Amino acid sequence: MSAGETILQGRSIHPGSAEGEALVSRMGISFFGGVDPETGTVMEKGHDLEGRRISGKVLVFPTGKGSTVGSYTLYRMKKAGTAPAAILNAECEPITAVGCILAGIPCIDRLPLDRICSGDFLRIDGTAGRVERGNPGTDTA
């Protein structure tokens, strides 16, 4: 796909814009207990992102899981500077949605995640629910 081409249209969960490198998981993520909020590192044993940092990434995963404390963990991560730049889901459940709203993290769901690969540079328009592939430092307008 060419730079700036709209690759996905989904449902806006929380508005805002972000851009960055995609980090894709095929597994659900629990922010409480599964991610170290001080470092932004996935620490859940056996998770396909175990040991990877999600800080500043466009984090792509099917859906959240775990405790409702996960919402506050996302907020804590935002305050600590370790939160993802944006979150993309196939289906955003309430824990992730509330966390994104509290933390001001753009979030979109109802997306076919198999169209995104780790390492893709993405521009997120959380207000319109749009995801564009691009290159860092280029204007796609």
The two tokens of residue 139 are 């204007």
Q: Which position among 30, 67, 71, 118 bears the catalytic label? A: 67
Cα dist from 134 to 17, 79, 139, whole Å: 14, 28, 8
Q: State how far the alpha carbon of 89 is from the alpha carbons of 3, 66, 137, in Å.
A: 22, 16, 25
- Compute the distance between CA of residue 34 and CA of residue 37 in angstroms, rounded to an integer: 9
The answer to whether 12 is a known catalytic residue is no
> Annotated active-site positions, please?
67
